[in-house]
Amino acid sequence: MTISTSLSAGLQGIQAGMQRVNLAGSRIAAHAADAEVLATNAIEQMSGRHQMGLSAQVVKTADAMLGTLIDLKA
């Protein structure tokens, strides 16, 4: 896997996580009185946040690898 591919995968993961959080939030707002919808979508929001955090780690690692390569070339 190349560095640019790693960066792309990390950024796509962040975007997908954000979409999960936003969609779950919309469902909660639309069905606030339904406890089952609230519980399911609260878990979905937590999963989306976790996905964003892990994807951010991928981006940080790819950035560090890129920095190392630039240092080695210089």
Domain holding 48, by residue range, is 3-69
| CB of 66 closer than 8 Å to CB of 14 | no
C-alpha 54/C-alpha 60 separation (Å) is: 10
Residue 1's pLDDT is 63
Q: Classify 34 as helix, strand or coil.
A: coil
C-alpha 45/C-alpha 17 separation (Å) is: 8
* 21: in domain: yes
Q: What pTM was computed for the model?
A: 0.83
* 48: in domain: yes
Please state the domain count of the chain: 1
* 74: in domain: no
pLDDT tens column, 28-67: 999 989 999 999 999 999 999 999 999 999 999 998 988 8
